[in-house]
Amino acid sequence: MTEKTSLARAPLVAVEISSAWGEDSAAAEALPNWLPDPAFCENCLSSGIRLLRLQGLQSASRQDDATQPLNAEHPPSLLQTYSVSLRFAEGVESKQLNTTYRGRSNPTNVLSFPIAEESAQWLTPREFGGSGNAEGANSEAAPLGELVLCPSIIESEASAQHKNLEDHWAHLLLHGLFHLLGFDHIEEDEAEEMESLEIETLRSLGIPNPYLLD
């Protein structure tokens, strides 16, 4: 494995997972058919960050003076790491949160709770100084916020839409991540941008376009 390949696969997002189905839980809902492990979640979320970083580098390279090439082997934008808290919740908990924070009295697949304003949490590639090596990187993971995912809803959607369950989890993890980073889908142009990011990231993971399967 080359050093460049190793860097590309290095996790950019660390996750901490809490679940209604923990060892000491008294969950009323049946144990979900499948729950992603930390490695799966970190891989999905890191792929989303990596896509944004690479897009930012491409944009920056078009603006940079030709005499100041980017260090392609150690792009500075890939040196920042992030953390995301994940909660796997029962339908009742999801409904309570959705009602409280969105005014909608039903459980939902994923809820995103950013930890800070977008300007405070998201750093563009040009905001990373240093020489482009690990020693110059920020060693502390920047917290992005929390995602609350409801396995029963996710499983029902995957079945109804004839999607692979793991693929649907990957999509919703990314959907939640992009919300944490300030993306939205209220306006048509915003929705197109966000969906494009999701589709491209999923493609990098070998997952087909989820919007063609609905």
Q: Looking at residue 33, what is its pLDDT? A: 95
What pLDDT score does 53 carry? 87
pLDDT value at residue 34: 97
Query: What confidence score (pLDDT) does residue 140 get?
Result: 79
SS3 content of the chain, % helix, strand, coil (to 5): 50, 15, 40
Of the candidates 181, 149, 126, the one whose C-alpha atom is nearest the C-alpha of residue 12 is 181
- Residue 118, pLDDT score: 45
Q: What's the pLDDT score for residue 54?
A: 86
| pLDDT for residue 55 | 84
pLDDT score at 104:
96
pLDDT at 213: 62
Phi and psi angles of residue 57, each rounded to the nearest 5 degrees, phi first = -65, -40
Contact predicate 152/32, CB 8 Å: yes
Phi, psi angle pair for 140, to nearest 5°: -95, 135
Residue 57, Cβ density class (10 Å: 0-12 exposed, 13-18 middle, ≥19 buried): buried
The pLDDT assigned to 49 comes to 93
pTM given for the model: 0.80
- Dihedral (C-alpha) 178, 147, 165, 194: value to the nearest 10 degrees? -10
> How far, in Å, CA of 170 to CA of 172, rounded?
6
Q: Are 107 and 149 contacting, i.e. CB atoms less than 8 angstroms apart?
A: no
* Average pLDDT per block of 10 residues along the chain, 214 residues long: 44 95 85 97 96 75 46 43 96 97 97 71 35 41 94 98 97 96 89 95 97 75
